[in-house]
Structure 1
Protein backbone atom coordinates (compact mmCIF):
# COMPACT_ATOMS: atom_id res chain seq x y z
CA UNK A 1 0.00 0.00 0.00
CA UNK A 2 2.84 2.32 0.85
CA UNK A 3 4.59 1.59 -2.44
CA UNK A 4 1.39 2.36 -4.33
CA UNK A 5 1.20 5.78 -2.66
CA UNK A 6 4.73 6.67 -3.77
CA UNK A 7 4.01 5.61 -7.36
CA UNK A 8 0.80 7.57 -7.55
CA UNK A 9 2.53 10.61 -6.11
CA UNK A 10 5.29 10.35 -8.71
CA UNK A 11 2.74 10.09 -11.52
CA UNK A 12 0.94 13.13 -10.17
CA UNK A 13 4.13 15.16 -10.46
CA UNK A 14 4.83 14.17 -14.07
CA UNK A 15 4.72 17.01 -16.65
CA UNK A 16 1.62 15.61 -18.37
CA UNK A 17 -0.18 15.14 -15.05
CA UNK A 18 0.73 18.68 -13.96
CA UNK A 19 -0.66 20.02 -17.21
CA UNK A 20 -3.88 18.03 -16.92
CA UNK A 21 -4.41 19.13 -13.31
CA UNK A 22 -3.86 22.82 -14.04
CA UNK A 23 -6.77 25.18 -14.52
CA UNK A 24 -7.55 26.82 -17.84
CA UNK A 25 -5.36 29.88 -17.25
CA UNK A 26 -2.22 27.94 -16.36
CA UNK A 27 -2.90 25.52 -19.23
CA UNK A 28 -3.03 28.47 -21.61
CA UNK A 29 0.29 29.75 -20.24
CA UNK A 30 1.90 26.32 -20.61
CA UNK A 31 0.64 25.83 -24.16
CA UNK A 32 1.79 29.31 -25.13
CA UNK A 33 5.27 28.71 -23.73
CA UNK A 34 5.46 25.30 -25.39
CA UNK A 35 4.52 26.87 -28.74
CA UNK A 36 7.12 29.62 -28.17
CA UNK A 37 9.78 26.98 -27.49
CA UNK A 38 8.93 25.06 -30.67
CA UNK A 39 8.92 28.31 -32.67
CA UNK A 40 12.28 29.24 -31.17
CA UNK A 41 13.93 25.99 -32.20
CA UNK A 42 12.39 26.19 -35.68
CA UNK A 43 13.94 29.65 -36.15
CA UNK A 44 17.28 28.54 -34.71
CA UNK A 45 17.59 25.49 -36.96
CA UNK A 46 16.24 27.22 -40.08
CA UNK A 47 18.37 30.35 -39.64
CA UNK A 48 21.54 28.39 -38.87
CA UNK A 49 21.24 26.27 -42.01
CA UNK A 50 20.32 29.32 -44.08
CA UNK A 51 23.32 31.37 -42.94
CA UNK A 52 25.68 28.46 -43.51
CA UNK A 53 24.33 27.86 -47.01
CA UNK A 54 24.45 31.53 -48.00
CA UNK A 55 27.96 31.95 -46.59
CA UNK A 56 29.29 29.05 -48.68
CA UNK A 57 27.59 30.24 -51.86
CA UNK A 58 28.66 33.84 -51.31
CA UNK A 59 32.26 32.73 -50.79
CA UNK A 60 32.11 30.82 -54.05
CA UNK A 61 30.67 33.85 -55.85
CA UNK A 62 33.36 36.17 -54.51
CA UNK A 63 36.09 33.77 -55.60
CA UNK A 64 34.52 33.70 -59.06
CA UNK A 65 34.28 37.50 -59.05
CA UNK A 66 37.95 38.09 -58.26
CA UNK A 67 38.98 35.61 -60.96
CA UNK A 68 36.62 37.04 -63.60
CA UNK A 69 38.12 38.99 -66.48
CA UNK A 70 34.81 40.22 -67.86
CA UNK A 71 32.53 41.81 -65.23
CA UNK A 72 29.68 42.27 -67.69
CA UNK A 73 29.65 38.55 -68.48
CA UNK A 74 29.67 37.74 -64.77
CA UNK A 75 26.81 40.18 -64.20
CA UNK A 76 24.71 38.59 -66.94
CA UNK A 77 25.33 35.15 -65.41
CA UNK A 78 26.10 34.55 -61.74
CA UNK A 79 25.57 38.22 -60.89
CA UNK A 80 21.80 37.73 -60.99
CA UNK A 81 21.75 34.95 -58.39
CA UNK A 82 19.80 35.41 -55.16
CA UNK A 83 22.90 35.77 -52.98
CA UNK A 84 23.90 38.65 -50.67
CA UNK A 85 27.25 39.23 -52.40
CA UNK A 86 25.63 38.92 -55.84
CA UNK A 87 23.01 41.51 -54.83
CA UNK A 88 25.75 43.94 -53.78
CA UNK A 89 27.63 43.26 -57.01
CA UNK A 90 24.46 43.77 -59.05
CA UNK A 91 23.76 47.10 -57.32
CA UNK A 92 27.28 48.29 -58.13
CA UNK A 93 27.14 47.26 -61.79
CA UNK A 94 23.67 48.78 -62.28
CA UNK A 95 24.80 52.11 -60.83
CA UNK A 96 28.02 51.99 -62.84
CA UNK A 97 26.11 51.54 -66.08
CA UNK A 98 23.70 54.37 -65.29
CA UNK A 99 26.48 56.75 -64.25
CA UNK A 100 28.81 56.08 -67.20
CA UNK A 101 26.35 55.85 -70.06
CA UNK A 102 26.75 59.51 -71.02
CA UNK A 103 29.69 61.12 -72.82
CA UNK A 104 30.74 63.23 -69.83
CA UNK A 105 31.33 61.23 -66.67
CA UNK A 106 31.35 62.88 -63.26
CA UNK A 107 34.04 60.83 -61.53
CA UNK A 108 33.48 62.01 -57.97
CA UNK A 109 29.72 61.86 -58.34
CA UNK A 110 29.97 58.35 -59.76
CA UNK A 111 32.15 57.22 -56.86
CA UNK A 112 29.68 58.65 -54.36
CA UNK A 113 26.70 57.04 -56.07
CA UNK A 114 28.48 53.68 -56.27
CA UNK A 115 29.24 53.80 -52.55
CA UNK A 116 25.64 54.74 -51.75
CA UNK A 117 24.13 52.05 -54.00
CA UNK A 118 26.31 49.25 -52.66
CA UNK A 119 25.99 50.46 -49.08
CA UNK A 120 22.21 50.38 -49.43
CA UNK A 121 22.42 46.86 -50.89
CA UNK A 122 24.56 45.70 -47.95
CA UNK A 123 22.08 47.19 -45.46
CA UNK A 124 19.15 45.56 -47.26
CA UNK A 125 20.85 42.15 -47.23
CA UNK A 126 21.73 42.51 -43.55
CA UNK A 127 18.08 43.26 -42.80
CA UNK A 128 17.03 40.23 -44.82
CA UNK A 129 19.54 37.99 -43.03
CA UNK A 130 18.39 39.18 -39.60
CA UNK A 131 14.72 38.59 -40.40
CA UNK A 132 12.88 36.85 -37.52
CA UNK A 133 15.76 37.33 -35.08
CA UNK A 134 13.60 39.92 -33.34
CA UNK A 135 11.20 37.06 -32.55
CA UNK A 136 13.97 35.33 -30.61
CA UNK A 137 14.67 38.53 -28.72
CA UNK A 138 10.98 38.94 -27.90
CA UNK A 139 10.60 35.35 -26.71
CA UNK A 140 13.79 35.59 -24.67
CA UNK A 141 12.60 38.70 -22.85
CA UNK A 142 8.88 37.89 -22.50
CA UNK A 143 8.80 34.13 -21.81
CA UNK A 144 10.15 34.35 -18.22
CA UNK A 145 7.47 36.88 -17.30
CA UNK A 146 4.76 34.72 -18.88
CA UNK A 147 6.03 31.81 -16.82
CA UNK A 148 6.07 34.04 -13.76
CA UNK A 149 2.44 34.90 -14.42
CA UNK A 150 1.64 31.18 -14.42
CA UNK A 151 3.58 30.84 -11.18
CA UNK A 152 1.64 33.61 -9.47
CA UNK A 153 -1.65 32.20 -10.71
CA UNK A 154 -0.78 28.71 -9.46
CA UNK A 155 0.14 30.02 -6.03
CA UNK A 156 -3.09 32.00 -5.87
CA UNK A 157 -4.95 28.78 -6.68
CA UNK A 158 -3.11 27.00 -3.87
CA UNK A 159 -4.21 29.61 -1.37
CA UNK A 160 -7.76 29.34 -2.68
CA UNK A 161 -7.67 25.56 -2.17
CA UNK A 162 -6.36 26.07 1.37
CA UNK A 163 -9.17 28.48 2.15
CA UNK A 164 -11.79 26.19 0.64
CA UNK A 165 -10.64 23.03 2.44
CA UNK A 166 -9.43 24.77 5.60
CA UNK A 167 -6.48 22.42 5.47
CA UNK A 168 -2.87 23.57 5.34
CA UNK A 169 -1.35 20.14 4.68
CA UNK A 170 1.21 19.68 1.92
CA UNK A 171 -1.19 17.48 -0.02
CA UNK A 172 -3.52 20.43 -0.53
CA UNK A 173 -0.83 22.99 -1.35
CA UNK A 174 1.55 20.84 -3.42
CA UNK A 175 -0.45 20.49 -6.69
CA UNK A 176 -0.88 24.24 -7.17
CA UNK A 177 2.75 24.98 -6.30
CA UNK A 178 3.95 22.20 -8.60
CA UNK A 179 1.91 23.66 -11.47
CA UNK A 180 3.32 27.09 -10.70
CA UNK A 181 6.92 25.89 -10.73
CA UNK A 182 6.30 23.92 -13.91
CA UNK A 183 5.06 27.08 -15.63
CA UNK A 184 8.22 28.88 -14.51
CA UNK A 185 10.36 26.03 -15.84
CA UNK A 186 8.62 26.20 -19.22
CA UNK A 187 9.23 29.93 -19.35
CA UNK A 188 12.95 29.43 -18.77
CA UNK A 189 12.99 26.50 -21.21
CA UNK A 190 11.69 28.83 -23.92
CA UNK A 191 13.70 31.92 -22.94
CA UNK A 192 17.23 30.56 -22.43
CA UNK A 193 17.71 29.02 -25.91
CA UNK A 194 16.08 32.09 -27.48
CA UNK A 195 18.53 34.50 -25.81
CA UNK A 196 21.59 32.36 -26.56
CA UNK A 197 20.53 31.85 -30.19
CA UNK A 198 19.71 35.54 -30.67
CA UNK A 199 23.18 36.59 -29.52
CA UNK A 200 24.90 33.91 -31.57
CA UNK A 201 22.92 34.45 -34.77
CA UNK A 202 23.19 38.23 -34.46
CA UNK A 203 26.95 37.81 -34.23
CA UNK A 204 26.97 35.67 -37.37
CA UNK A 205 24.82 38.21 -39.24
CA UNK A 206 27.16 40.98 -38.10
CA UNK A 207 30.16 39.07 -39.44
CA UNK A 208 28.33 38.45 -42.71
CA UNK A 209 27.51 42.15 -43.00
CA UNK A 210 31.15 43.08 -42.35
CA UNK A 211 32.20 40.65 -45.07
CA UNK A 212 29.73 42.18 -47.51
CA UNK A 213 31.09 45.62 -46.68
CA UNK A 214 34.62 44.43 -47.43
CA UNK A 215 33.45 42.99 -50.74
CA UNK A 216 31.64 46.25 -51.57
CA UNK A 217 34.76 48.27 -50.71
CA UNK A 218 36.91 46.04 -52.92
CA UNK A 219 34.48 46.29 -55.82
CA UNK A 220 34.20 50.05 -55.31
CA UNK A 221 38.00 50.33 -55.49
CA UNK A 222 38.05 48.32 -58.71
CA UNK A 223 35.41 50.56 -60.33
CA UNK A 224 37.15 53.65 -59.02
CA UNK A 225 40.39 52.63 -60.73
CA UNK A 226 38.38 52.02 -63.90
CA UNK A 227 37.22 55.64 -63.75
CA UNK A 228 40.83 56.82 -63.86
CA UNK A 229 41.41 55.19 -67.22
Structure 2
Protein backbone atom coordinates (compact mmCIF):
# COMPACT_ATOMS: atom_id res chain seq x y z
CA UNK A 1 0.00 0.00 0.00
CA UNK A 2 2.80 2.40 0.90
CA UNK A 3 4.52 1.65 -2.39
CA UNK A 4 1.34 2.43 -4.33
CA UNK A 5 0.89 5.73 -2.45
CA UNK A 6 4.52 6.63 -3.06
CA UNK A 7 4.17 5.86 -6.75
CA UNK A 8 1.06 8.01 -6.94
CA UNK A 9 2.78 10.92 -5.21
CA UNK A 10 5.70 10.67 -7.62
CA UNK A 11 3.46 11.26 -10.65
CA UNK A 12 3.21 14.88 -11.79
CA UNK A 13 -0.46 15.80 -12.33
CA UNK A 14 0.10 19.36 -13.55
CA UNK A 15 -1.64 20.28 -16.80
CA UNK A 16 1.67 20.56 -18.66
CA UNK A 17 2.79 17.16 -17.42
CA UNK A 18 -0.54 15.58 -18.32
CA UNK A 19 -0.29 17.11 -21.79
CA UNK A 20 3.26 15.84 -22.24
CA UNK A 21 2.29 12.28 -21.27
CA UNK A 22 -0.83 12.18 -23.46
CA UNK A 23 -0.86 10.42 -26.81
CA UNK A 24 -0.35 12.47 -29.97
CA UNK A 25 -4.07 12.26 -30.80
CA UNK A 26 -5.11 13.64 -27.41
CA UNK A 27 -2.42 16.31 -27.65
CA UNK A 28 -3.79 17.45 -31.01
CA UNK A 29 -7.28 17.62 -29.50
CA UNK A 30 -5.99 19.71 -26.59
CA UNK A 31 -4.13 22.10 -28.88
CA UNK A 32 -7.21 22.56 -31.08
CA UNK A 33 -9.37 23.34 -28.05
CA UNK A 34 -6.85 25.79 -26.58
CA UNK A 35 -6.53 27.61 -29.90
CA UNK A 36 -10.31 27.68 -30.31
CA UNK A 37 -10.67 29.12 -26.82
CA UNK A 38 -8.11 31.88 -27.47
CA UNK A 39 -9.71 32.70 -30.83
CA UNK A 40 -13.16 32.82 -29.25
CA UNK A 41 -11.96 35.21 -26.53
CA UNK A 42 -10.29 37.40 -29.16
CA UNK A 43 -13.61 37.64 -31.03
CA UNK A 44 -15.51 38.35 -27.81
CA UNK A 45 -13.19 41.21 -26.81
CA UNK A 46 -13.15 42.63 -30.33
CA UNK A 47 -16.97 42.57 -30.51
CA UNK A 48 -17.35 44.37 -27.20
CA UNK A 49 -15.06 47.12 -28.52
CA UNK A 50 -16.87 47.24 -31.88
CA UNK A 51 -20.34 47.39 -30.32
CA UNK A 52 -19.32 50.11 -27.88
CA UNK A 53 -17.96 52.17 -30.78
CA UNK A 54 -21.15 51.54 -32.79
CA UNK A 55 -23.30 52.86 -29.94
CA UNK A 56 -21.15 55.98 -29.60
CA UNK A 57 -21.29 56.58 -33.35
CA UNK A 58 -25.07 56.19 -33.37
CA UNK A 59 -25.52 58.63 -30.48
CA UNK A 60 -23.25 61.20 -32.11
CA UNK A 61 -24.98 60.91 -35.49
CA UNK A 62 -28.43 61.16 -33.90
CA UNK A 63 -27.41 64.47 -32.35
CA UNK A 64 -26.21 65.74 -35.72
CA UNK A 65 -29.25 64.44 -37.60
CA UNK A 66 -31.79 65.97 -35.22
CA UNK A 67 -29.87 69.19 -34.66
CA UNK A 68 -31.94 71.02 -37.27
CA UNK A 69 -29.11 71.22 -39.79
CA UNK A 70 -30.42 70.84 -43.38
CA UNK A 71 -30.00 67.26 -44.55
CA UNK A 72 -28.24 68.38 -47.74
CA UNK A 73 -25.65 70.24 -45.64
CA UNK A 74 -25.19 67.21 -43.38
CA UNK A 75 -24.73 65.02 -46.44
CA UNK A 76 -22.17 67.41 -47.92
CA UNK A 77 -20.30 67.52 -44.62
CA UNK A 78 -20.14 63.72 -44.45
CA UNK A 79 -18.79 63.64 -47.98
CA UNK A 80 -18.15 60.67 -50.24
CA UNK A 81 -16.40 58.62 -47.54
CA UNK A 82 -18.69 58.21 -44.50
CA UNK A 83 -16.75 56.82 -41.56
CA UNK A 84 -19.42 55.26 -39.35
CA UNK A 85 -22.33 52.89 -39.87
CA UNK A 86 -25.09 55.51 -39.34
CA UNK A 87 -23.33 57.84 -41.76
CA UNK A 88 -23.10 55.10 -44.39
CA UNK A 89 -26.80 54.31 -44.04
CA UNK A 90 -27.73 57.99 -44.23
CA UNK A 91 -25.40 58.54 -47.19
CA UNK A 92 -26.92 55.58 -49.03
CA UNK A 93 -30.44 57.00 -48.66
CA UNK A 94 -29.50 60.61 -49.28
CA UNK A 95 -27.36 59.72 -52.28
CA UNK A 96 -30.27 57.84 -53.88
CA UNK A 97 -32.54 60.78 -53.07
CA UNK A 98 -30.28 63.25 -54.86
CA UNK A 99 -29.78 60.94 -57.84
CA UNK A 100 -33.55 60.70 -58.20
CA UNK A 101 -33.90 64.43 -58.80
CA UNK A 102 -34.18 65.67 -62.37
CA UNK A 103 -32.50 68.81 -63.66
CA UNK A 104 -35.67 70.84 -63.13
CA UNK A 105 -35.90 69.75 -59.46
CA UNK A 106 -38.67 67.19 -59.92
CA UNK A 107 -38.45 63.67 -58.49
CA UNK A 108 -38.40 60.49 -60.55
CA UNK A 109 -41.29 58.10 -59.89
CA UNK A 110 -40.57 55.44 -57.29
CA UNK A 111 -38.00 57.54 -55.42
CA UNK A 112 -39.24 56.52 -51.99
CA UNK A 113 -38.97 52.79 -52.76
CA UNK A 114 -35.45 53.19 -54.16
CA UNK A 115 -34.33 55.16 -51.12
CA UNK A 116 -35.71 52.43 -48.85
CA UNK A 117 -33.92 49.73 -50.83
CA UNK A 118 -30.63 51.65 -50.75
CA UNK A 119 -30.80 52.04 -46.98
CA UNK A 120 -31.85 48.41 -46.48
CA UNK A 121 -28.82 47.27 -48.48
CA UNK A 122 -26.58 49.51 -46.36
CA UNK A 123 -28.17 48.18 -43.16
CA UNK A 124 -27.54 44.63 -44.37
CA UNK A 125 -23.85 45.40 -44.89
CA UNK A 126 -23.53 46.97 -41.46
CA UNK A 127 -25.34 44.03 -39.88
CA UNK A 128 -22.87 41.66 -41.55
CA UNK A 129 -20.00 43.68 -40.09
CA UNK A 130 -21.53 43.49 -36.63
CA UNK A 131 -22.17 39.75 -36.70
CA UNK A 132 -18.94 38.74 -38.44
CA UNK A 133 -17.19 36.16 -36.27
CA UNK A 134 -20.21 35.28 -34.15
CA UNK A 135 -20.75 32.11 -36.17
CA UNK A 136 -17.35 30.92 -34.93
CA UNK A 137 -18.52 31.34 -31.34
CA UNK A 138 -21.61 29.28 -32.14
CA UNK A 139 -19.45 26.60 -33.74
CA UNK A 140 -17.09 26.44 -30.76
CA UNK A 141 -20.01 26.34 -28.34
CA UNK A 142 -21.65 23.43 -30.13
CA UNK A 143 -18.62 21.33 -31.11
CA UNK A 144 -15.94 21.90 -28.43
CA UNK A 145 -17.54 19.56 -25.83
CA UNK A 146 -17.71 16.74 -28.40
CA UNK A 147 -14.13 17.33 -29.51
CA UNK A 148 -13.05 17.19 -25.88
CA UNK A 149 -15.12 14.05 -25.35
CA UNK A 150 -13.41 12.43 -28.33
CA UNK A 151 -10.03 13.19 -26.72
CA UNK A 152 -11.24 11.72 -23.44
CA UNK A 153 -12.53 8.53 -25.04
CA UNK A 154 -9.30 8.12 -26.98
CA UNK A 155 -7.20 8.70 -23.86
CA UNK A 156 -9.19 6.22 -21.79
CA UNK A 157 -8.84 3.67 -24.59
CA UNK A 158 -5.07 4.07 -24.46
CA UNK A 159 -5.15 3.74 -20.65
CA UNK A 160 -6.99 0.44 -20.82
CA UNK A 161 -4.56 -0.80 -23.46
CA UNK A 162 -1.64 0.04 -21.15
CA UNK A 163 -3.38 -1.74 -18.28
CA UNK A 164 -3.84 -4.83 -20.43
CA UNK A 165 -0.21 -4.76 -21.53
CA UNK A 166 1.25 -4.20 -18.04
CA UNK A 167 -1.22 -6.57 -16.32
CA UNK A 168 -1.36 -4.05 -13.46
CA UNK A 169 -4.66 -2.54 -12.34
CA UNK A 170 -3.39 -0.53 -9.36
CA UNK A 171 -4.64 3.03 -8.97
CA UNK A 172 -1.13 4.39 -9.45
CA UNK A 173 -1.10 2.90 -12.95
CA UNK A 174 -4.70 3.78 -13.92
CA UNK A 175 -5.00 7.30 -12.49
CA UNK A 176 -2.47 9.15 -14.69
CA UNK A 177 -4.01 7.92 -17.93
CA UNK A 178 -7.56 8.72 -16.79
CA UNK A 179 -6.45 12.19 -15.65
CA UNK A 180 -4.81 12.87 -19.01
CA UNK A 181 -7.99 11.87 -20.79
CA UNK A 182 -10.27 14.01 -18.63
CA UNK A 183 -8.20 17.12 -19.32
CA UNK A 184 -9.50 17.04 -22.90
CA UNK A 185 -13.12 17.19 -21.70
CA UNK A 186 -12.25 20.01 -19.30
CA UNK A 187 -10.66 22.00 -22.12
CA UNK A 188 -13.70 21.38 -24.31
CA UNK A 189 -16.02 22.77 -21.65
CA UNK A 190 -13.63 25.65 -20.97
CA UNK A 191 -13.85 26.65 -24.64
CA UNK A 192 -17.58 25.98 -25.09
CA UNK A 193 -19.17 27.63 -22.04
CA UNK A 194 -17.88 31.20 -22.62
CA UNK A 195 -18.51 30.84 -26.36
CA UNK A 196 -22.18 29.97 -25.82
CA UNK A 197 -22.74 32.65 -23.16
CA UNK A 198 -21.16 35.46 -25.14
CA UNK A 199 -22.64 34.30 -28.46
CA UNK A 200 -26.13 34.77 -27.01
CA UNK A 201 -25.21 38.10 -25.42
CA UNK A 202 -23.43 39.51 -28.48
CA UNK A 203 -26.12 38.29 -30.88
CA UNK A 204 -28.71 40.17 -28.83
CA UNK A 205 -26.56 43.30 -28.82
CA UNK A 206 -26.07 43.08 -32.58
CA UNK A 207 -29.82 42.71 -33.11
CA UNK A 208 -30.52 45.78 -30.96
CA UNK A 209 -27.96 47.89 -32.81
CA UNK A 210 -29.33 46.75 -36.17
CA UNK A 211 -32.84 47.49 -34.93
CA UNK A 212 -31.76 51.04 -34.13
CA UNK A 213 -30.41 51.38 -37.68
CA UNK A 214 -33.72 50.17 -39.07
CA UNK A 215 -35.63 52.61 -36.85
CA UNK A 216 -33.50 55.48 -38.10
CA UNK A 217 -34.02 54.37 -41.71
CA UNK A 218 -37.80 54.35 -41.16
CA UNK A 219 -37.69 57.84 -39.62
CA UNK A 220 -35.50 59.16 -42.43
CA UNK A 221 -37.74 57.58 -45.05
CA UNK A 222 -40.77 59.20 -43.40
CA UNK A 223 -39.10 62.62 -43.58
CA UNK A 224 -38.30 62.17 -47.27
CA UNK A 225 -41.80 60.85 -48.03
CA UNK A 226 -43.28 63.87 -46.30
CA UNK A 227 -41.14 66.13 -48.46
CA UNK A 228 -42.30 64.28 -51.56
CA UNK A 229 -45.90 64.84 -50.48
CA UNK A 230 -45.28 68.54 -50.06
CA UNK A 231 -43.89 68.73 -53.56
Counting only pairs closer than 5 Å after superposition, residues 75-114 of structure 1 correspond to structure 2 as 75-78=75-78, 80-103=81-104, 104-107=106-109, 109-114=110-115
Unmatched 5+ stretches in structure 2: none
SS in 2 for 1:140: helix
How big is the alpha-carbon RMSD for the aligned residues of Structure 1 and Structure 2? 1.8
State the partner residue of 1:67.
Answer: 67
Counting only pairs closer than 5 Å after superposition, residues 63-212 of structure 1 correspond to structure 2 as 63-78=63-78, 80-103=81-104, 104-107=106-109, 109-212=110-213
CA contact (8 A) 1:61 1:78 kept: no
SS in 1 for 2:66: helix
Aligned length: 225
Provide the rounded CA distance (Å) in 1 between the counterparts of 2:40 and 2:63. Answer: 34
Provide the rounded CA distance (Å) in 2 between the counterparts of 1:183 and 1:12. Answer: 17
Unmatched 5+ stretches in structure 1: none
1:101-143 Cα shifts (integer Å, max 9, x gaps): 3545245x11111111111111111111101111111111111
Deviation at 1:181, TM superposition (A): 0.8
Provide the rounded CA distance (Å) in 2 between the counterparts of 1:27 and 1:92. Answer: 54
Provide the rounded CA distance (Å) in 1 between the counterparts of 2:7 and 2:161. Answer: 27
Provide the rounded CA distance (Å) in 2 between the counterparts of 1:120 and 1:9. Answer: 65
Provide the rounded CA distance (Å) in 2 between the counterparts of 1:142 and 1:223. Answer: 48
SS in 2 for 1:29: helix
Provide the rounded CA distance (Å) in 2 between the counterparts of 1:96 and 1:197. Answer: 39
- Normalising to structure 2: TM-score of the pair? 0.91
- Normalising to structure 1: TM-score of the pair? 0.92
